[in-house]
């Protein structure tokens, strides 16, 4: 009795699951038709980037439950208005995929003010003003598929089908229509899709589609045409590109009955298979459980290594409370980071990537597998990924103390890090980098060393985050790390100017970082600010004048409790920082040399040569004393060449 009730409930569950499966049989149609970027620069990069990312995130949350989303963040010229919409025949799962593609590619418009992107399944636009009611504009365009020339019967049918689609779409509540129409010879069909953005009024939608229906005739006699208007999208084709209508929307009773019959029959078939699978999984779990033992991070990651790095998307989603805003830890170069708690109480940090690697899941998995094998006490552990879900997600060990930037740039929190701790952090970071640069399995250039990528554990030990990823995304044209989060203040000049990437680019960033740790000052990030005002230049200035003490972070309280050893150490760090930020990559020491310089006491250091970012005229001046400065092993602080600074920093 109980057993049969159980069987029935399993059967019902299966039918529901199956319908879910049937609903996912669709195409996200995430091919890009066209991207249009504005010509104007953004108003203020410092405000623009976080606003933009915030808008993408907010829209993303809406897209999970409906096929459209809008968001406004910021005010005045720095505001960001966003709109995204999937076309009416996409399932919500496919919609998420299409949107992921859109939000991956649209940032390539950066640093321009905004842009729009048309895909075959969705649309997205971002501007700094409210454009929600716009429906035509000078940049409206059309794209013809140019493969076959069609006969006049087909051409007439296109015109008719397009008119039908305009009527249908303006009448429907979601401004969507798909019209298949047979030609008069009845051996061919025309397929037309029309969609207005949901923010338009009915009359605006009609006007947009009527304009589109005229424009689209320019693609006749070709077999395919698309119109990309400000307020709507229209496409015709000789091939059926429609998705099956998502379940639950106006399907007839007859259809429903057929669907149920089909579901039940297939359910019975699947039931057997499912039982076998369940039994198999149970057995497998049992074995895993036996193997697992306790749940600390090391064991967990080892187990993942042994079996699988793959986290289920739903598990991760649940762990973060459905991406609850209160669990958000921050915004990284590659994605948004959330705190999560797994069902058994383990804490994790979850990174939702801006990129969707669904279609490269295997590559992504291999990358993750490789990175997760890189283990060092100063590197954040990558525990795994959700590699094949609707979004690409990385799962890391959770570090409760957040990142270094939250401390050193904060007037009160900075006090939590005294000099000893800071020096330890500097050494730890250097060790982590040496390991990345010199480990034999895979040499990794980090590319994005900065204070916010140095995480701190409970005892304030440094752990480098986000390594290895840049490598897997380097073919990605839409790579946001350089396009958006690209942390200008930290980028080596040769990398910035020529994209020339070696370990020495990391050495440069590390140099900037340690100057920040000593001074508590943030290196300038803005492209527009003159480099002569940058932290590197300030440090160079003071170093030349033998006044490094003046730029120590007040939070270190070196002036109140002077400690000769600490001061000497801090001055040494500044000198190493300047060696690391020398303009010529060859002059910068390798990370292992840096580590030696830092760790060994009383070893004379070379004097730093050219400070970076001096214009050519002054660089010539600078080359004269360079010979004697270049790696001359003299005692540092006493015999610093007293070059007149006005040569270096003309104002």
The catalytic site residues sit at: 448
The binder of ligand NAG chosen from 156, 168, 188, 522 (CB under 6 A): 188
The binder of ligand NAG chosen from 19, 35, 92, 136 (CB under 6 A): 136
The binder of ligand NAG chosen from 157, 215, 320, 581 (CB under 6 A): 215
Render the burial of 138-167: b for 16+ CB within 10 Å, e for the rest.
eebebebbeeeebeeebbebbebbbebbbe
The binder of ligand NAG chosen from 7, 146, 201, 203 (CB under 6 A): 146
The binder of ligand NAG chosen from 51, 91, 211, 610 (CB under 6 A): 211
Question: Nearest 5°: CA angle at 62, between 57 and 64?
Answer: 100
The binder of ligand NAG chosen from 10, 18, 144, 163 (CB under 6 A): 144
Question: 73: Cβ–Cβ under 8 A, 6 or more apart, which residues?
Answer: 51, 54, 55, 58, 79, 80
Q: How far is the CB of 565 from ligand NAG (least distance, A)?
A: 37
User: Cα(150)–Cα(128) distance, rounded to whole angstroms?
Assistant: 43
Write the Ramachandran bin of 322: left for phi over 0, alpha for psi from -120 to 50, otherwise beta: left
- Binding of residue 140 to ligand NAG (CB under 6 A): yes
User: Cα(452)–Cα(295) distance, rounded to whole angstroms?
Assistant: 28
The piece of 182-190, 273-281, 536-544, 579-587 that touches ligand NAG (CB under 6 A) is 182-190
**Count of residues of this chain found to bind ligand NAG when the rule CB under 6 A is applied:** 34
* Antiparallel, parallel or unpaired: β 454-456 and 462-464: antiparallel
Nearer to ligand NAG, 126 or 179 (CB): 126
Binding mask 39-68 for ligand NAG (x = CB under 6 A): xxxxxx-xx------------------x-x
The piece of 131-139, 272-280, 314-322, 474-482 that touches ligand NAG (CB under 6 A) is 131-139
Peptide bond into 19 cis (omega under 30): no
Beta bridge partner(s), residue 330: 337
E strand or H helix that includes residue 512 = helix 503-519
Nearer to ligand NAG, 529 or 632 (CB): 529
Q: How far is the CB of 618 from ligand NAG (least distance, A)?
A: 25
Nearer to ligand NAG, 146 or 632 (CB): 146
Nearer to ligand NAG, 140 or 391 (CB): 140
Other beta carbons less than 10 A from residue 180's beta carbon: 12
Q: How far is the CB of 160 from ligand NAG (least distance, A)?
A: 16
Q: How far is the CB of 231 from ligand NAG (least distance, A)?
A: 10
The piece of 96-104, 210-218, 452-460, 469-477 that touches ligand NAG (CB under 6 A) is 210-218
User: Cα(531)–Cα(524) distance, rounded to whole angstroms?
Assistant: 8
Residues 82 and 455: beta-carbon distance below 8 Å: no
Other beta carbons less than 10 A from residue 379's beta carbon: 24
Residues 631 and 540: beta-carbon distance below 8 Å: no
Nearer to ligand NAG, 137 or 180 (CB): 137
Percent helix / strand / coil, the chain, rounded to 5: 45, 15, 35
Question: 330: Cβ–Cβ under 8 A, 6 or more apart, which residues?
Answer: 336, 337, 402, 403, 452
Which residue in 289, 290, 288 sits closest to 307, CA to CA?
A: 288
The binder of ligand NAG chosen from 15, 22, 35, 38 (CB under 6 A): 38
Nearer to ligand NAG, 221 or 255 (CB): 221
Which residue in 107, 2, 637, 639 sits closest to 354, CA to CA?
A: 107
Q: Which of residues 219-258 bind ligand NAG (CB under 6 A)?
A: 222
Q: Collapse the DSSP code of 224 into the 3-class scheme (helix H, G, I; strand E, B; otherwise coil) and give the result.
A: strand
Question: 82: Cβ–Cβ under 8 A, 6 or more apart, which residues?
Answer: 55, 56, 58, 59, 69, 70, 71, 72, 124, 125, 126
Binding mask 565-604 for ligand NAG (x = CB under 6 A): ----------------------------------------
Nearer to ligand NAG, 214 or 620 (CB): 214
The binder of ligand NAG chosen from 8, 9, 137, 324 (CB under 6 A): 137
Q: Which of residues 149-178 bind ligand NAG (CB under 6 A)?
A: 151
Taking CA atoms, 203 is separated from 57, 141, 280, 295, 564, in Å, by 31, 21, 58, 61, 77
Residues 424 and 461: beta-carbon distance below 8 Å: yes
Q: How far is the CB of 241 from ligand NAG (least distance, A)?
A: 17
Q: How far is the CB of 246 from ligand NAG (least distance, A)?
A: 12
User: Cα(332)–Cα(452) distance, rounded to whole angstroms?
Assistant: 8
Q: How far is the CB of 480 from ligand NAG (least distance, A)?
A: 20
φ, ψ at 454 (rounded to 5°): -105, 110
Q: How far is the CB of 129 from ligand NAG (least distance, A)?
A: 4
E strand or H helix that includes residue 202 = helix 202-215
Binding mask 98-117 for ligand NAG (x = CB under 6 A): ---------------x----
Q: Collapse the DSSP code of 437 into the 3-class scheme (helix H, G, I; strand E, B; otherwise coil) and give the result.
A: helix
User: Cα(522)–Cα(199) distance, rounded to whole angstroms?
Assistant: 42
Q: Establish how many alpha carbons lie within 13 A of residue 333's alpha carbon, considering only the half-sphere containing its beta carbon.
A: 25
Q: How far is the CB of 137 from ligand NAG (least distance, A)?
A: 5
The binder of ligand NAG chosen from 187, 253, 326, 412 (CB under 6 A): 187
The binder of ligand NAG chosen from 7, 9, 148, 185 (CB under 6 A): 185
User: Cα(384)–Cα(399) distance, rounded to whole angstroms?
Assistant: 16
User: Cα(507)–Cα(504) distance, rounded to whole angstroms?
Assistant: 5
The piece of 133-141, 283-291, 423-431, 566-574 that touches ligand NAG (CB under 6 A) is 133-141
Q: How far is the CB of 188 from ligand NAG (least distance, A)?
A: 5
The piece of 207-215, 256-264, 361-369, 599-607 that touches ligand NAG (CB under 6 A) is 207-215
Other beta carbons less than 10 A from residue 32's beta carbon: 13
Nearer to ligand NAG, 68 or 356 (CB): 68
Q: How far is the CB of 536 from ligand NAG (least distance, A)?
A: 20
Nearer to ligand NAG, 148 or 645 (CB): 148
Other beta carbons less than 10 A from residue 543's beta carbon: 22
Nearer to ligand NAG, 37 or 501 (CB): 37
Residues 376 and 438: beta-carbon distance below 8 Å: no
627 is in an annotated binding site: no
Nearer to ligand NAG, 128 or 487 (CB): 128
List residues binding ligand NAG (CB under 6 A): 38-44, 46-47, 66, 68, 70, 76-77, 113, 128-129, 136-140, 144, 146, 151, 185, 187-188, 198-199, 211, 214-215, 222
* Residue numbers belonging to the annotated binding site for ATP: 351
């Amino acid at each position: 009795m109980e057993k049969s009730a159980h069987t029935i409930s399993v059967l019902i569950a299966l039918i529901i699951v199956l319908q879910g499966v049937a609903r996912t049989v669709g195409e996200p149609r995430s091919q890009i038709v066209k991207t249009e970027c504005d010509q104007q620069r953004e108003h203020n990069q410092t405000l623009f980037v976080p606003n933009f990312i915030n808008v993408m995130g907010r829209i993303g949350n809406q897209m999970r439950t409906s096929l459209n989303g809008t968001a406004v963040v910021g005010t005045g010229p720095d505001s960001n208005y966003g709109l995204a919409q999937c076309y009416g025949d996409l399932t919500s799962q496919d919609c998420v995929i299409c949107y992921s593609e859109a939000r991956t590619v649209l940032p390539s418009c950066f640093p321009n003010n905004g842009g729009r992107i048309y895909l075959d399944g969705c649309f997205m636009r971002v501007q700094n003003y409210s454009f929600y009611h716009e429906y035509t504009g000078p940049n409206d365009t059309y794209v013809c598929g140019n493969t076959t020339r069609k006969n006049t019967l087909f051409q007439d049918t296109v015109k008719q089908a397009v008119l039908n689609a305009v009527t249908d779409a303006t009448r429907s509540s979601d401004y969507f229509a798909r019209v298949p129409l047979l030609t008069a010879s009845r051996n061919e069909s025309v397929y037309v899709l029309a969609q207005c953005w949901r923010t338009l009024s009915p009359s605006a939608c009609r006007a947009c589609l009527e304009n589109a229906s005229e424009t689209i005739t320019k693609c006749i006699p070709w077999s395919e045409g698309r119109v990309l208007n400000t307020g709507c999208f229209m496409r015709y084709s000789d091939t059926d590109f429609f998705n099956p209508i998502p379940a639950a929307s106006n399907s007839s009773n007859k259809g429903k009955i057929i669907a149920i019959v089909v579901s039940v029959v297939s359910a019975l078939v699947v039931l057997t298979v499912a039982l076998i699978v369940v039994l198999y999984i149970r057995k497998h779990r049992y074995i895993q459980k036996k193997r697992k033992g306790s749940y600390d991070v090391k064991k967990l990651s080892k187990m993942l290594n042994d079996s699988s790095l793959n986290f289920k998307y739903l598990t991760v989603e649940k762990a973060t409370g459905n991406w609850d805003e209160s669990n958000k830890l921050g915004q990284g170069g590659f994605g948004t980071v959330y705190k999560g708690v797994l069902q058994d109480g383990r804490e994790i940090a979850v990174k939702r990537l801006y990129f969707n690697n669904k279609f490269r899941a295997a590559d992504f998995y291999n990358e993750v597998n490789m990175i997760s094998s890189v283990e060092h006490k100063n590197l954040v552990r990558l525990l795994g990924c959700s590699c094949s879900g609707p979004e690409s997600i990385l799962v890391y060990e959770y570090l409760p103390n957040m990142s270094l930037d939250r401390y050193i740039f904060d007037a009160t929190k900075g006090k939590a890090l005294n000099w000893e701790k800071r020096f330890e952090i500097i050494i730890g970071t250097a060790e982590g980098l040496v390991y990345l640069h010199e480990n034999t399995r895979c040499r990794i250039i980090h590319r994005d060393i900065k204070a916010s990528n140095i995480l701190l554990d409970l005892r304030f030990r440094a752990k480098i985050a986000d390594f290895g990823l840049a490598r897997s995304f380097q073919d990605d044209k839409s790579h946001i790390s350089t396009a958006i989060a690209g942390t200008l203040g930290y980028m080596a000049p040769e990398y910035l100017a020529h994209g020339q990437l070696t370990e020495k680019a990391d050495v440069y960033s590390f140099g900037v970082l340690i100057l920040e740790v000593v001074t508590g000052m943030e290196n300038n990030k803005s492209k527009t600010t003159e480099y002569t005002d940058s932290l590197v230049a300030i440090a160079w200035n003071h170093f030349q004048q033998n006044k490094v003490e003046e730029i120590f972070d007040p939070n270190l309280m070196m002036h109140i409790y002077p400690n000769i050893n600490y001061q000497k150490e801090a001055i040494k760090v500044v000198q190493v920082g300047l060696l690391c930020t020398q303009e010529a990559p060859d002059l910068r020491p390798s990370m292992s040399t840096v580590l030696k310089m830092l760790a060994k006491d009383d070893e004379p250091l070379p004097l730093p040569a050219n400070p970076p970012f001096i214009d050519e005229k002054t660089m010539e001046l600078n080359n004269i004393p360079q010979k004697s400065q270049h790696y001359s092993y003299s005692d540092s602080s006493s015999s610093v060449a007293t070059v007149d600074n006005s040569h270096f920093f003309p104002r």
